[in-house]
């Protein structure tokens, strides 16, 4: 079975690990940067989500751009059954809490999911996670997996909107900042409103795609 591009990239990072003491592994620092967090300069900051995001971004897939593993539960689209390379999100500690872990699905056996991920024993490695801790499987929304993309046509405005869906929260936040500047100039208010509208439309397109995939 052909592996998705992001999984192939992830395999090439196997063995990268944190550096003891005051030094930091530049490869791990690059994971933070590529996943949208260039402000992180030390490899001791939890980085499983940074690794996941970096591999997706390097493969040309918009990531959740987050350092929180559970944020991937709202990224892409839900899978009822796992696929090779899909993003797996797990609880850590309290299942209802905020802590979690995220990585890429390789397979499963005896109630254990084989996971390729970062920050596993302070390294990029393959480990086994109890399936009882699984919170969800996710898959990116792309031109080849989205029925919405196919309906509106590749290269159309609709295609761009579906691509923007994972970044909708950031667009809404940015729009709010522009709207706050509306007192200084109506142009800022207009830009802010436009960003929010685009974000909400992108969310609607993504939900349509999820509904279509689930057969609703």
Domain boundaries, the chain: 5-139, 147-214
Write out pLDDT tens, residues 177-195.
655 666 666 776 677 677 6
pLDDT in tens for each of the 216 residues of the chain? Answer: 689 999 999 999 999 999 887 789 999 999 999 999 999 999 888 999 999 999 999 999 999 999 999 999 999 999 999 999 999 999 988 777 788 999 999 999 999 999 999 999 999 999 999 999 999 999 998 655 555 444 444 444 444 544 555 555 565 566 566 556 666 667 766 776 776 676 666 555 444 444 443 433
Write out pLDDT tens, residues 32-53.
999 999 999 998 889 999 999 9
Q: 5-139 domain in CATH 2.40.50.140?
A: no
Long-range CB contacts for residues 71-77, cutoff 8 Å, separation at least 24: 72/102, 72/138, 73/135, 73/136, 73/138, 75/138, 75/140, 75/166, 76/138, 76/139, 76/140, 76/141, 76/166, 77/138, 77/139, 77/140, 77/141, 77/145, 77/206, 77/209, 77/210, 77/213
């Amino acid at each position: 079975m052909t592996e998705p591009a992001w999984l192939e990239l992830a395999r090439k990072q196997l063995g990268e690990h944190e550096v003891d003491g005051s030094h930091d592994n530049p490869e791990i620092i690059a994971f933070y940067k590529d996943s949208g967090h260039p402000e992180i300069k030390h490899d001791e900051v939890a980085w499983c989500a940074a690794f996941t995001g970096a591999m997706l971004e390097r493969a040309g897939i918009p990531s959740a751009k987050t350092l929180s593993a559970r944020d991937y539960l709202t990224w892409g689209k839900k899978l009822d059954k796992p696929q090779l390379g899909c993003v797996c999100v797990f609880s850590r500690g309290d299942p209802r809490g905020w802590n979690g872990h995220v990585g890429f699905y390789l397979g499963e056996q005896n109630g254990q999911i084989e996971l390729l991920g970062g920050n596993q024993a302070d390294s990029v490695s393959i480990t086994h996670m109890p399936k009882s801790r699984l919170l969800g499987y996710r898959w990116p929304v792309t031109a080849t997996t989205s029925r919405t993309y196919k309906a509106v046509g590749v290269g159309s405005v609709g295609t761009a909107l579906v691509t923007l869906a994972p970044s909708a929260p950031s667009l809404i936040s940015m729009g709010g900042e522009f709207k706050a500047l509306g007192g200084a100039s109506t142009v800022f208010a207009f830009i802010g409103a436009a960003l929010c509208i685009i974000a909400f439309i992108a969310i609607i397109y993504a939900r349509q795609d999820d509904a279509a995939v689930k057969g609703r």
